[in-house]
Structure formats: structure tokens, C-alpha cells
């Protein structure tokens, strides 16, 4: 590898706040377009006559298969090409396909539209996290990526609120139009107002060499045990988190006989608002602790997973909807941090021109297995309990899903064992 070390000039990072703001806004639109479907699942299920397993397919594997698979070649492209332009193109595609979802007349139409959303969104996160890593030094990177991750929370908040409000007034189809069309304008903002940063800028390195081959990159990652254990732990959390994200609204609507409009704002504020605050606060905590010991990267996620478990269990056992909201405060606060730290670690554990790929590989696994399978597994379990005439079949399914959280804690503790050594190996590559 050819790289040179040089001081990072103050002027060289001017405008990074604007770039982070725009990228966070793009990530927000990413999740508005993704989560608008979640708040509308119940009316769509009734109109199109669907089962829970089909809802899990729409929100899970149909989207995730394309999102995850295309993320790898897009990341290889991003490690070689202009990341800003890739993000603008991706945003255009997923926004258009979200709007097209409003024309769906049956399950297959909607399935194809969600596949299109997945194709577009594959080009969002890998180049964005790579750009942020070039703009923010390791000691402030978890905070920057925590801010970026608030896009998940704000996207959920806006997606839920927008979907619930517009559904009550105009129906679920118009909600898709309202979610998708503004993204086309944002794509122009990205293309003409964001500058492409130099690679390695924030690390005091400028990398002018060729990107490693796919084989070299995979062999390097295979030798980073912390990366692999971190990936396994985050996979377990992602399965659980996305099952809850997709079916929490449906569970509350069924358990307490509520409409999408009645749960949209409270859930949006909880999962989106409280979750965004948690992502920033916990990102700051992670950066502070990691200055003393970088092993806190995976250990912070493990602590959050352990703390969330009993509260998530009690959420499913609540007698009133307001008690359910109260129990959901803690899981919402810690719920987004695993993603920001996972991306932070994936940048630290590989060499400079492996960063987009490392982020995409992390995203590939989290998406295909976590986002793709989490809702689907929960839907299948719910259908099983429903066929067995169980009380609250969806709640019973989500209770079993919590076992994935337990497994994640073990993996994340193991990820810390060689984290410091693996970071040094990446720097020396």
C-alpha cells in the first residue's frame, strides 16, 4: 500500500459540518422511505389480505436481499470512485421507488417496489460512512457517526408521524407519495453542494495507492477476530431490533385496539426521538471511554443490550398502552447505538482503502440476516402461535426473539479481547 502521513490542515476539513448534516439528512430520508411501510402494515394487511409472514417478507428479505447484495459492488465502486455522486444517484432511485409503492394493487406489486427501494438504498451508507471517517479523527469518529445514525431515529420519527397523519386523511397510498418525492430534490442538494473529501484526511494520512483486491481485503478481514466477533454480536442485535421495529406498531394496534394514527406519533417520538438522543449521548460516552481503552467500542454495545433486555420483556407484558410506552423508553434510548459503533469499528479495524468495503460487508450481513430475517422470523413465529390459538401470538413471537439479545452479549464481550491489537494491525497495513 502507498500512503503518506501529513498533518491535517485546519482548512482541509472546512465544510465538514455541512457534509455531515447533509449525509445525516440523506440517512433520515433513507429511513423515512423504509419505515413508512411499517406504520402502514395493518391497513395494507387488511386491504391486500396478507399474513404476518408476508408482512415480514415485505419489510425484511424482499428489501434486504437487494440492499445487502448490491452494497458490496457499490462499496468497491466507492473505494475507487466519487462517493458523493454515488449517494446522489442512490437517493434518486430509492425515492422514486418509494413513490411507486403507492400504486401497488396487490402483494406482488408492493414486493417489487420494495425491492426497488432496496436497490437504491444499497448505495447510501457505505460511501457515506467512508466519507465521515475521512472527515473526523478516530477520537471524534464515534460521535460523528452517532450523529449520522440519528438519521435512523429521525427517519423513524418522520416516517411514522408522516405515515400515520397522511393515512388518517388520505389513505396509505398517498403516504408513499409524500415520503418519496422530496428525496428527489435532496439528491440535487447532495450532488451540487457536497465536496468529496480526501481519503485518509482525518488520520493524518493521504492514500494515493491502489485499493487492495477483493481477495486481499477478505483475507485481511478474516484475520481480524474482533471484526468477526463484533459482526456476530451486532447480527444478533439486528435480528431482534428489526423484528421489534417492524412489529411494535402492529402489536400495539392489536393488543390495545388502536389505529395507525394513534400509535404513530408516540412510537415515532420513542423509537426515533429518544433513540436519536441515545445515539448521540452514547456515541459521546463511547468516544470518551475509547480514548482510554478502545475495547469499549464493542463493550458499550454489550452493556446496552444487557440493559435493554428486561425492559423489552416488560414492554410485552404491559397492561396498558401507556405502560408499554414507559417500558419502551430504555430500549428506545439504547436501540440505535449498535449501528453507529459497528460502523465506527469497521472503519478502525481495516486499512484506508478497505473502509467502504468493510462498512458494506458489515451492512451486507446486518441487512441480509438482521433486517432480512428478523421480521420474517417474527412473522413466522406469530403465524405459528396464531395457528395454535395462543393468546397474543405476536407478543409470544417477540418474546422468543429476545434470545438473540442474550447471544449478542457473549459475542460482543469476546470482540473486545483483541480489539486493540487488531486496530494496530490495520494502521500498520
Share of the chain above pLDDT 70, in %: 93
State mean pLDDT over 106-127. Answer: 84
Distance in angstroms (rounded) separating the CA atoms of residues 240 and 311? 14
Distance in angstroms (rounded) separating the CA atoms of residues 291 and 131? 22
CA distances to 32, 166, 318, 360 from 161, rounded to whole Å, are 10, 8, 23, 30
pLDDT given for residue 341 in this prediction: 80
pLDDT given for residue 283 in this prediction: 80
pLDDT per residue over 363-409, tens digit each? 778 888 888 888 889 989 999 999 999 888 999 999 999 999 999 99
**In this structure, what CATH number is given to the domain that contains residue 142?**
1.20.1250.20
Q: Is residue 206 part of a domain?
A: no
Q: Which of 257-266, 298-307, 346-355 has the highest mean pLDDT?
A: 298-307
pLDDT above 90 for 329: yes
pLDDT given for residue 8 in this prediction: 44
Choice between 212 and 309, residue whose per-residue pLDDT is larger: 309
pLDDT given for residue 10 in this prediction: 43
pLDDT given for residue 281 in this prediction: 87
State mean pLDDT over 80-101. Answer: 88
Q: Is residue 1 part of a domain?
A: no
pLDDT per residue over 164-200, tens digit each? 888 888 888 999 998 888 989 999 999 888 888 776 6
The pLDDT-based confidence of 95 (bands split at 50, 70, 90) is very high
Distance in angstroms (rounded) separating the CA atoms of residues 253 and 22? 34
User: Which residues constitute the domain of residue 341?
Assistant: 11-200+213-428
Question: If you average pLDDT over every residue of the chain, what do you get?
Answer: 84
* DSSP result, 147-166: HHHHHHHHHHHHHHHHHHHH
Backbone angles phi, psi at 390, to 5 degrees: -75, 150
The pLDDT-based confidence of 63 (bands split at 50, 70, 90) is confident
Query: How many structural domains is the chain composed of?
Result: 1
pLDDT given for residue 204 in this prediction: 55
Q: Is residue 99 part of a domain?
A: yes
pLDDT given for residue 1 in this prediction: 45
pLDDT given for residue 384 in this prediction: 93
Maximum CA extent, the chain? 67
The pLDDT-based confidence of 59 (bands split at 50, 70, 90) is confident
pLDDT given for residue 2 in this prediction: 42
Q: Is residue 2 part of a domain?
A: no
CA distances to 171, 172, 285 from 47, rounded to whole Å, are 11, 10, 46
Q: Is residue 208 part of a domain?
A: no
Share of the chain above pLDDT 90, in %: 28
Is the C-alpha dihedral spanning 351, 352, 353, 356 positive or negative? Answer: positive
Q: Is residue 74 part of a domain?
A: yes
Q: Is residue 109 part of a domain?
A: yes
pLDDT given for residue 381 in this prediction: 94
pLDDT per residue over 20-58, tens digit each? 999 999 999 988 988 888 888 888 888 888 888 888 777
pLDDT above 80 for 127: yes
Is the C-alpha dihedral spanning 312, 388, 242, 306 positive or negative? Answer: positive
Q: Is residue 205 part of a domain?
A: no
pLDDT above 50 for 308: yes
**pTM for this entry:** 0.72
Distance in angstroms (rounded) separating the CA atoms of residues 350 and 296? 18
State mean pLDDT over 275-299. Answer: 85
Residue labelled with grid coordinates 440492499: 67
pLDDT given for residue 196 in this prediction: 81
Give CA 244 to chain center in angstroms: 14
Amino acid at each position: 500500500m502507498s500512503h503518506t502521513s501529513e498533518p491535517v490542515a485546519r482548512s482541509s476539513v472546512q465544510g465538514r459540518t455541512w457534509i455531515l448534516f447533509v449525509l445525516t439528512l440523506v440517512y433520515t430520508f433513507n429511513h423515512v422511505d423504509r419505515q413508512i411501510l411499517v406504520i402502514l402494515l395493518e391497513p395494507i394487511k387488511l386491504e391486500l389480505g396478507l399474513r404476518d409472514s408476508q408482512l415480514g417478507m415485505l419489510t425484511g428479505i424482499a428489501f434486504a436481499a437487494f440492499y445487502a447484495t448490491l452494497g458490496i459492488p457499490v462499496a468497491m465502486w466507492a473505494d475507487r470512485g466519487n462517493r458523493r455522486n454515488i449517494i446522489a444517484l442512490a437517493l434518486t432511485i430509492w425515492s422514486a421507488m418509494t413513490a411507486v409503492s403507492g400504486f401497488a394493487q396487490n402483494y406482488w406489486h408492493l414486493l417489487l417496489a420494495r425491492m426497488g427501494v432496496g436497490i437504491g438504498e444499497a448505495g447510501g451508507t457505505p460511501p457515506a460512512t467512508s466519507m465521515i471517517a475521512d472527515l473526523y479523527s478516530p477520537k471524534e469518529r464515534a460521535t460523528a457517526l452517532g450523529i449520522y445514525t440519528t438519521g435512523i431515529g429521525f427517519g423513524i420519527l418522520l416516517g411514522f408521524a408522516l405515515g400515520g397523519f397522511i393515512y388518517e386523511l388520505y389513505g396509505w397510498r398517498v403516504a408513499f407519495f409524500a415520503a418519496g418525492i422530496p428525496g428527489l430534490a435532496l439528491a440535487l442538494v447532495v450532488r451540487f453542494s457536497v465536496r468529496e473529501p480526501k481519503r485518509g484526511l482525518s488520520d493524518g494520512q493521504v492514500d494515493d495507492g491502489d485499493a487492495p483486491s477483493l481477495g486481499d481485503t477478505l483475507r485481511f478481514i478474516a484475520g481480524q477476530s474482533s471484526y468477526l466477533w463484533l459482526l456476530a454480536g451486532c447480527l444478533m442485535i439486528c435480528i431482534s431490533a428489526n423484528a421489534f421495529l417492524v412489529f411494535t406498531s402492529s402489536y400495539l394496534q392489536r393488543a390495545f385496539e388502536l389505529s395507525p394514527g394513534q400509535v404513530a406519533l408516540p412510537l415515532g417520538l420513542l423509537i426515533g426521538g429518544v433513540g436519536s438522543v441515545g445515539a448521540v449521548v452514547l456515541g459521546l460516552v463511547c468516544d470518551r471511554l475509547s480514548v482510554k481503552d478502545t475495547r469499549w467500542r464493542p463493550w458499550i454495545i454489550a452493556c446496552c443490550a444487557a440493559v435493554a433486555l428486561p425492559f423489552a420483556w416488560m414492554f410485552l407484558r404491559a397492561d396498558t398502552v401507556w405502560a408499554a410506552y414507559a417500558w419502551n423508553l430504555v430500549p428506545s434510548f439504547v436501540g440505535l447505538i449498535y449501528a453507529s459503533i459497528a460502523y465506527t469499528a469497521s472503519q478502525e479495524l481495516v486499512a484506508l482503502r478497505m473502509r467502504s468495503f468493510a462498512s458494506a460487508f458489515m451492512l451486507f450481513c446486518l441487512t441480509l440476516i438482521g433486517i432480512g430475517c428478523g421480521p420474517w422470523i417474527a412473522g413466522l413465529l406469530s403465524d405459528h402461535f396464531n395457528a395454535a390459538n395462543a393468546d397474543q401470538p405476536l407478543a409470544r413471537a417477540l418474546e422468543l426473539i429476545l434470545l438473540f439479545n442474550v447471544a449478542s452479549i457473549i459475542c460482543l464481550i469476546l470482540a473486545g479481547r483483541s480489539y486493540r491489537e487488531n486496530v494496530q494491525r490495520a494502521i500498520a497495513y
